[in-house]
Each structure stands twice: as C-alpha cells, then as structure tokens.
Structure 1
Amino acid sequence: MSLLRKEETGALYGYARVSTGDQDLALQLDALKNEGCNNKNIFTDKISGATSQRVGLDACLFQLKKGDTLLVWRLDRLGRSMPHLVSLVEELRQRGIGFRSICDGAIDTTTASGELVFNIFSSLAQFERRLIQERTRAGLEAARARGRTGGRKPLDPNNPRVKMAKTLHEDKGLDVKEICKQMQISRSTFYIYRLVHVKDAAKIIVDPSVKTIMHRV
C-alpha cells in the first residue's frame, strides 16, 4: 500500500557518505538519482560518520530551504548516532524541510505515518539517553558507598617514571625544561610526578614559566 505523501513544493536534495576514500559512492549516488535527485543537488562526504565536521553535509544543510526534501540512501549515512540523527531531522522539521531514507522506507517525514515512525525513534533515543544517565548515576553512588569517588587513581610513588623525575630533578640538578625533554613529557605531567613526593602539596607553587618548583614560605 502506498503512503500518502504531503505535496512537495520545493526541490529534492540528496546526501551520500562513505567512511574512507577507498570506498565508492556509486551505489548511493545511483539510488539518489533513481529517486529523482539531480547531480547539482547531491552533496557528498568521504569521511568517518563519527567526525563532527562534514563539509558536504554542512553545505547541503545550508542550501536546503522551506519546502525542500532531503534524501539519503540509509539513516546511518546522515547521523553520527541516533541522538545526532534525531537532532538533525528535528532541525529540518522546524525549518519546514522533509526527510526521507531510501533503504528505511518507513522513515519519511513527508508522510503522516513516516513522521509518526520517526517520532517513535526520537522517543527511543531520549529513553536511551536517560538510561545511560541513570546507570552512570547509579555507578557513582555505588562507588561512593564503597568509599570510592570518581577520577583517576593516585600515582604510586614507586612508579618508575615518577621516581625518574624525582631523581633527575634532585640528584642531577637538571631544570624542568631539560627533564621534560629527556623524559618526553609535558611540564604539567612533570609537576604531577613531583607532587607525589611532596608531603605538603598545598605549599607547592606550580608555575610553568619558571624552571624549578617553588615552595610557599
């Protein structure tokens, strides 16, 4: 049974993406053209979906206007994740732009039933976010009940790297810059290593502009 589609008053735009330059866009491009997309209205990216900056997608979203419809081959070609996908489609809806997925036929916000299906997807994404938040909160509460708090474990004074930083600084009299270069660490890491051996850490002044660690009087 065919779905009753709202009248499309604008243009049809397509977006295609593959993860690497070695993959071919041909399959997606052919599918978009078969659905009525013109070459000039198809935007592409050859980049991982996890990457936030996608030049082709940004250009496509900029070009779209009220009454247009965005078409993709499959849902995962558009969004980095379900929450990101829901956010993008909601943005399109607010701008009066339709959205369709070729392989996911039920996802078509230009039809009443397709819009309903996507609203269900949106609710599931929100439910997933709440579950993650609740699990994180429960994990932190359980850790606190066992006497632990979030964050990294404190460094062991017997850690070889920590001991090396102490030896180089105290025994050989090297300045911070030379030690960092020799150990291939940053100044901040060096200061963290040194604080492990300081009994009264509150009296330490960490100043990256100086060559030594100073103590408050």
Structure 2
Amino acid sequence: MSRTFAYVRVSTHGQTTENQIGEIKAAGFDVHARRVVSETVSGSVATKEREGFTRLLDRMEEGDVLVVTKMDRLGRNAMDVRTTVETLAEMGVKVHCLALGGVDLTSSTGRMTMS
C-alpha cells in the first residue's frame, strides 16, 4: 500500500510552510500530518545535508509518493535535484512536483522535463 509524503521547506524562521501544505492539499493529495516533513533550512544546503530530508528518506519505502510544490524544494541546484530524484527513484519512490503540473519526476516524462 503506497503512502503519500510531503516535503516542505522555507529558508528563514520568519517564513511559514503553510502555503506549501495548502497547495499540496488543493492539488488533491491527501497527506496525513505525520507524513509532512517541514523544515527551515537555506536552499544553499545540499539535500543530503538536511536533517529533515534525511529523516524522510529513512521513513520512505518502495511504492511511496513524495509531493513537493517546486523542484527547488528538492535541492540547491540542478545537479543536487537530479541526484535527489535519482536516489528516490532507486528506492522506488515517485516524486510529484506541483509546479510542473504534478508530473512524476522519476518517470521518463519527468526526467525529460528536468533536463
């Protein structure tokens, strides 16, 4: 049975992730509150160095779905995003990006879109 997770991130403590959570719900994704990983960390920090994202990777299993509002939530630059998506694909996790029409970044269409 697949589970849906959401990863939401802001850069400073003065910002909130509520708008990202609202966008994900408005897009029709039903994400249980305990499956929303929210963190405040600069976008300049590589994904593998983010405490919240690392915890998320430990929780996810094959068949799960990860939803983000924008690709920049997944990494600091194109290479970091690509590495992150490849890691998730190897785990069997689908990655949906709302800013790209909800396309699964691990699919052939998603990989082409990222390029």
TM-score bucket (shorter structure): 0.7 to 0.9
Larger Rg: 1
Question: Is 1:42 aligned with 2:24?
Answer: no
Deviation at 1:33?
3.4
Partner of 1:29: 21
Corresponding letter in the other structure for 1:88? T
Q: Which amino acid aligns with 2:3?
A: A
1-structure distance, mates of 2:59, 2:50? 14
- Structure 2: runs of 5 or more not aligned: none
> CA contact under 8 A between 1:106 and 1:117: conserved in structure 2?
no
Kindly report which structure 2 residues correspond to 1:36-185, keeping only aligned pairs within 5 A, or say none: 36-52=30-46, 53-105=49-101, 107-109=103-105, 115-121=107-113, 124=115
Compare the two structures and name the one with the higher strand fraction: 2
User: Cα distance, 1:21 vs. partner?
Assistant: 0.5
Which residue number in structure 2 is paired with residue 128 of structure 1? none
Counterpart residue number, 1:188:
none
Contact 1:33 1:39 in 2 (8 A): no
Structure 2 length normalisation: TM-score?
Answer: 0.86
Question: Which ranges in structure 1 are unaligned for 5 or more consecutive residues?
Answer: 1-8, 125-217
State the secondary structure of the residue aligned to 1:103: helix
CA distance in 2, matches of 1:33, 1:25: 13
User: How far did 1:106 drift?
Assistant: 5.4
Quote the RMSD (CA, aligned, Å).
1.7
1:13 partnered with 2:13: no
Deviation at 1:26, TM superposition (A): 1.0
- Any idea what SS the aligned residue of 1:90 has? helix
How much has 1:109 moved relative to structure 2? 4.1
Cα deviation, 1:92-134, whole Å, max 9, x if unaligned, reads 1111111101121153147xxxx22332245x4xxxxxxxxxx
Check conservation: 1:71, 1:101, Cα contact below 8 A: yes
| Percentage identity across paired residues of the two chains | 26
| C-alpha contact (below 8 Å) 2:97/2:105 kept by paired residues | no
